Amino acid sequence: MHLAYPAVLAALLFCTGLYGVLARRNAVLVLMSVELMLNAVNLNLVAFDVWLRDALHAGQALTLFTIAIAAAEIGIGLAIVLMVYRNRGTSDVDRLRDTAEGNEPAPGPDQSSVRSEVTA
């Protein structure tokens, strides 16, 4: 088996996930991008395990642990995102800078005129 094909595919998956983490503002899409990056790592682990013909199949065992950790991460991450969305009304990562209780999120460009009219 040629190692170049899965390695190139894993690099493309990882770069796509990295772009999603750096460019997206929605927290759910950031979590999906992290999952893409973890899947790229899993693909590399299995490809190198097959290429090296390891008798213990350590790459496949590590892939199973990574999948279990990814499942726990997405479950906890989605629970946190849902609670933040219920409390703040947005899942925009840029607006969630201050996570202390009782503080309102920073007004966006469409909310600033509404707040100035209410206070006037």
Q: How many domains does the chain have?
A: 1
The structure tokens listed for 59 are 């790459």
> What CATH code is carried by the domain that includes residue 85?
1.10.287.3510
Judge whether 88 and 98 are in contact, CB under 8 Å: no
Predicted pLDDT at 96: 76
- Block means of pLDDT (10 residues each) for the chain, 120 residues, are 92 97 92 96 95 91 95 94 90 74 58 53
CA–CA separation, 87 and 101 (whole Å): 9
For residue 10, the enclosing domain spans 4-119
Q: Which of 43, 12, 65 is nearest to 20 (CA)?
A: 12
**CB neighbours of 36 closer than 8 A, spacing ≥ 6?**
13, 14, 16, 17, 20
pTM for the model stands at 0.75
